[in-house]
Amino acid sequence: MSTVKKPETVLVTTAHRGVFFGYLTGKVDKTVTLKNARNCIYWSSDVRGFMGLAATGPSNSCRIGPSADIELNDVTSIVAVTPEAAAKWEAQPWG
């Protein structure tokens, strides 16, 4: 696994329909390692899809799980997360 020099704040989607926020610390092929990852169980239409989760973050209507360190397989996308969105993910809304 290649290690990332400075953890990057990202949103990751998987082939298994998972949507995760976290701090990217390693990546090899279609596998990534995230620290303090959170899973988006549900997002509301006001977020405007998974790209909206990366751009503006989850709203109070979303359901975001608690954090854990995780390795994800079958990654389909890695999206940069804005500081504004990261703060909302860290607030862990569960509408």
CA distance 44 to 30: 28
Range of the domain at 81: 2-90
CATH number at residue 86: 2.30.30.100
pLDDT (tens digit per residue) in 56-91: 999 999 999 999 999 999 999 999 999 999 999 999
Domains: count for the chain: 1
Residue 95 belongs to some domain of the structure: no
Burial class (CB in 10 A: 0-12, 13-18, 19+), 92: middle
pLDDT (tens digit per residue) in 8-40: 999 999 999 999 999 999 999 999 999 999 999
Question: What type of residue is 11?
Answer: L
Residue listed under structure tokens 């020099």: 5
CA distance 61 to 47: 9
CA distance 31 to 71: 7
Residue 45 belongs to some domain of the structure: yes
Distances (CA, A) of 61 to 11, 34, 68, 93: 18, 24, 22, 7
pTM value is 0.92
